Structures are given as C-alpha cells and as structure tokens.
Amino acid sequence: IEIYSLYVDCKVTSRFAHTVITSKIVNQANESREATFEVELPKTAFITNFSMSIDGKVYPGIIKEKASAQKEYETAVSRGQSAGLVKITDRKLEQFHVSVSIAAASKATFELTYEELLKRQLGKFELLIKVRPKQLVKHFQIDVHIFEPQGIRFLETDSTFMTNELTEALTKVQNETKAHILFKPTVDQQKMNPDLNETLLNGDFVVRYDVKRGATAGDIQIVNGYFVHYFAPHEMPAFPKNVIFVIDRSGSMAGRKIKQTKDALLKILQDLRPEDHFSFITFNSKVVEWKSSLLQATAENVASAAGVVQTLSASGGTDINRALLTAVSMLDKAERLPERSVSMIILLTDGQPTSGESNLEVIQENIQKAVNGKYALFCLGFGFDVSYKFLEKMALSNGGIARRIYENADAALQLQGFYQEVATPILMKIEMQYPENAVEGLTKNNFKLFFEGSEIIVSGKISNELELLPVEIKAQSHTSDLTLKEEANVKEKEQVFQNQSYIFGNFIERLWAYLTIQQLLERFVSAQEEDQKTLEAQALELSLRYSFVTPLTSMVVTKPAGQQQTELANKPTEAG
C-alpha cells in the first residue's frame, strides 16, 4: 500500500484552527490489502468530519448521539469486537485510526477534519501537527495559513525531526496580520539516508505565535452576528500569592516519581517571589506540616525549605482528606498575609485515598465546605492510578483546574510548567459585561483569577439591529479596582473579515459553539445531579447541530460491503 499524497491544510482564523488531513493511497499489490489511515490530533480538538472514498464511491462518517449510535452499532456487530477508532496516545494527543480493505490496483482517499480554539499558555498559542507517514510520500505538504486581525507579534516554527535538508523545504511568509507556512519536502529530502527508503518525518511540527494587543479592554471581533472578545492584559503588577503545596509521599510515589517531584519542587521554590508566602504539607497515612504557618519566601526560608524537600522519602498510605483540610485550616489561620493577595493550594497525588476518609464524595464535600470559595485548589494527578474524575471535580468545584502528569522522563518539567501557568496572578474577580437585551448565548463571563500569559475569551450572539456593542470589564488588580470600557462598531468589525478569501465564513459562530460545549462539559463535572441533565442536553444539541465529535456524540463510519460494516469514533476524555 503506497501513500502517494499526504496533505495537511490548516487555517487559523483569530485563534480558531480548522485542519483537514487528506491521504491518498494506492494498492500496488496484485491482491487486496488492508489500508490504514492513522492521524494523531490534539486532545483539545473536536473531529467534525471524516470520509473515505474508494474507487470513486464515498463513505461519509455520520455524527449521531453517542447512546443511540452505540445501540445501533451493538445490534450490527457482536459486542466487544472494536474498541472504537479514537484513543488517547500521550499527554497532548489522541489517535484516529481506521483500516479498510482495498482491492488490487485500487485507489482510496481518506479525509479527516477537526477544529479547535487555540489556548494561550505562557504567552503563546501553539498549533501542534503530528507527522508520522511511516513511509516516503511522493506529494507531502503541510500548509498553515494564519490570519489574526490584531496583528501577529511573533511567529516561530519548531519541529522534532528537522534536518538542514528539510529546513530547505520550509518557507514562511508573513505580513502584519497574516502568515503562511509551507512545508513541502521532496522524496529525497524525506529520506533518512540516500540508500534507504526510511523517512525522517516522524514527530511534531509546531507553530507558535502571539498577537499584538493595543486596546486596554481587549479585542472584539464580529462575523455574521456572532462576536468574540479576547482579553489578555499584560505588564501589570502581580498579586503576591500564598501557596501551600500538598505532596503525596505514600509508598506508590517511591522511586522515580518522588525524585521527579523533588526536582520540580526545588525549581518551583526558586521561582517564588520575595513577596509570596508559602508552606508545604507532605502526607501518607500521616499528615506532616513543614511549618505550622506560611512563611515569606525570603532567600533564607526558601533555602531551608529546599533542605527539607531533599530529604523527602515515600512510604505508607494516602490520607488526601486530612492533608487538604490541614492546608485549608493553615490558610484560614494565617496572619500578616498581604492585604491584596491570592491564596492557592496545589495538591499532587498519584493514587486513591487509602487512609482516613476514603469515600470520594465525602472528601469532595468536606473540602468544598472548608474552602468555601476563599481559595483556589489545583489538583495534579500523577500517572494512571489516580481517580482523575475525583481530582477534576474537586478542583473545578473550588475555583481551580486539574491536570494529569504523565509518568514520562519529563514529569518534573510538566510539574514546573503547570506551576509557571499559575505563578503570576494579575487580576481577580473579573466580570465581562455586555448589554443584556442585545446579547444572547453568552459564554462564561466572570472569572475568579487571571494569570499572566493566558487569555480570557467570551463569545455570544448579538441581536440584528445592534450598531454599537458596548463592553465593560470590572476587575481587581494588585493596586486598584479597575473598570475598562470599549465600544465596538458592528459594521466596521464585520468589514475586517469580508475580503479574506480563505476564511470559512461562520468561524466565530463555530468558535462560539466549540467554547460553549467545552464549558458545558466542564460545568457538568461539578454540577448537581439535577442540573447535569440540562447541561448534557444543551451540549448534545450543539454537538449535533455543529457536527462535533464530543464525549456526547459518536461518528459512525461505514465501510464497503463484505467488511466489518460500521465502526464508531468516540471522543476519549482524560477521566476515561
């Protein structure tokens, strides 16, 4: 089976990325063979379309409600024959994989489309394209078009497989608001060495960029009656933070995990600012406080903490409940903390609670009652023995987020990277206000904290007769209470996108749908049972209307007669 053409076409319009991957193959053998189409895509993306065309006949994938697709599928196929077409492969990617039998000398084309809203992290957007054709490809091409009306501040490409020869196949053209990146290596350039037919193309192709930010109240864009508002203030003083690290040192952490945790903690301690206050608690079946209160992050205190971190060893059970309650009570009792400051608890654990309270729901209730909206709780789950669902619900119920740390060589870097994202809070209690009578379907518009390097995004639908869209942002900074105002002229804003030929017309509407579904699914995690049904119904309706494969929908892929007829593509989630 020869892949004679592989084309990755990616259009990013105002952070919203639309990627189409087309693979064309021919069976050179004189008997039928199995052809496989395998694509790795970012976990944050939703698949929106897939089709196979074999000898001119098209087999489209059809997106349906997951439950009914599952039923239909089970009647068609005896149970357990197929694990579905999509599975998680690593911390950033999932893999779509379909195989089909192709007759001798026949051709087939596979096409997969997915969309995602790029998320700003540590000051940049990252577009990740996984490249792994596993053979030399006659026509290989990656095409990335970026259009950012705010202007492109910087742009870089990076790849894990570049060589000097391959660099010659890469071109970048860029002006104020647009960029075009083309990577088109010849067969010779793809070769690992001239005599062997082995490909160099194996790994990540990454585009990173950021946009210019002029307006203080952020940037508003409007297309076909939908608006998106981006807000990412910068160069503001950071709030001092009061942070308690709660570190699992139970037996399962022994070996590489505790070493990586210590390495990361030592670096994180160095990154604390002198005005921050900190402490740490380690736990197995016992809970040990380093100090009974938070200390200021002076050079002396940091050095003393580092000394203790170096001596950490792992053994015993896991009392998550008591460890977290101890952290909350330490913050409750804290005195002499800066007047305007941000308090947070960062939990790192690799397992289920085995000592003390072990009922997950009771722990969640205890912690929520104790935190009571006063502090942000971040939960890091190390490896796959943790109940990620439990950690995610606990974090989302207490103003934080959860993250899985993958047990790889770079685990210490993952931990540090997470800390850097939350290291610099610059605003709190942010409210993004729009005229109630003129805007509907508004996505989340109040935020507890804003961290330097990230971005707030609000989207909604504006009523037809609106000429001016006024916005008002209220927030607290370290030094004062802010009110920022801005007025967007609807007609002028719509003009920006009118003449751009390669933009898909309703991209802000699709961005709105993508963001709304993500937020509904996130709210579902920490919602009461009676509200979960409504949230699920809304997310399902949007997933079907905009044809997204989300955790609530499935794509039914039908194959030519005589082969295992249907297969399902589902969206895997971190919680499994």
| Per-residue pLDDT tens digits for 182-218 | 999 999 999 998 888 899 999 999 999 999 998 689 9
Q: What are 296-316's pLDDT values in tens digits?
A: 999 999 999 999 999 999 999
Query: For residues 426 and 428, what is the distance between their CA atoms, to the nearest angstrom?
Result: 7
Annotated domain spans of the chain: 2-212+553-559, 241-423
Q: Are strands 468-476 and 33-42 parallel, antiparallel or unpaired?
A: unpaired
Q: Specify whether the CB–CB gap between 430 and 475 falls below 8 A.
A: yes
Q: Specify whether the CB–CB gap between 517 and 535 falls below 8 A.
A: no
Q: What are 92-114's pLDDT values in tens digits?
A: 999 999 999 999 999 999 999 99
pTM of the model: 0.94
Residue 89 has a pLDDT of 86
Q: How large is the average pLDDT for residues 105-126? A: 96
Orientation of helix 256-271 relative to helix 299-310, angle to 10°: 180
Residue 256 has a pLDDT of 94
Q: How large is the average pLDDT for residues 22-27? A: 96
Which helix (H) or strand (E) is 402 found in, with range? Answer: strand 402-405
Phi then psi for 356, rounded to 5 degrees? 65, -145
Asked if residue 158 has pLDDT above 60, the reply is: yes
Residue 386 has a pLDDT of 92
Q: How large is the average pLDDT for residues 379-403? A: 95
Q: What are 236-267's pLDDT values in tens digits?
A: 999 999 999 999 999 999 999 999 999 999 99
Largest CA distance in the chain: 81
Whether domain 241-423 has CATH 3.40.50.1820? no
Asked if residue 81 has pLDDT above 50, the reply is: no
Query: For residues 100 and 154, what is the distance between their CA atoms, to the nearest angstrom?
Result: 43
| Cα–Cα nearest to 569, from 57, 132, 94, 21 | 94
Residue 76 has a pLDDT of 62
Report how far Cα 296 is from the mean position of its chain's Cα atoms: 33
Q: For residues 375, 377, 378 and 379, what is the CA-based torsion angle, rounded to 10 degrees?
A: 170
For the chain, the average pLDDT equals 93
Residue 523 has a pLDDT of 94
Q: What are 402-427's pLDDT values in tens digits?
A: 999 999 999 999 999 999 999 999 99
In the sheet that 16-26 helps form, which strands lie side by side, from edge to edge?
Answer: 170-174, 178-183, 139-147, 2-13, 16-26, 107-117, 46-54, 57-65, 553-558, 566-570
Phi then psi for 344, rounded to 5 degrees? -145, 150
**Which band of pLDDT confidence, cut at 50, 70 and 90, is reported for residue 80?**
very low
Asked if residue 565 has pLDDT above 80, the reply is: no
Query: For residues 195 and 411, what is the distance between their CA atoms, to the nearest angstrom?
Result: 38
Whether domain 2-212+553-559 has CATH 3.40.50? no
User: Other CB atoms closer than 10 Å to residue 87's CB: what's the count?
Assistant: 12
Q: How large is the average pLDDT for residues 267-290? A: 96
Name the residue with higher pLDDT: 426 or 56: 426
Q: What are 470-521's pLDDT values in tens digits?
A: 999 999 999 999 999 999 999 999 888 876 655 566 899 999 999 999 999 9
Percent of the chain at pLDDT > 90 equals 84
Name the residue with higher pLDDT: 172 or 164: 172
Asked if residue 235 has pLDDT above 50, the reply is: yes
**Which band of pLDDT confidence, cut at 50, 70 and 90, is reported for residue 566?**
confident
**Which band of pLDDT confidence, cut at 50, 70 and 90, is reported for residue 144?**
very high
Residue 79 has a pLDDT of 46
Asked if residue 160 has pLDDT above 70, the reply is: yes
User: Which amino acid belongs to residue 134?
Assistant: K
Q: What are 33-55's pLDDT values in tens digits?
A: 999 999 999 999 999 999 999 98
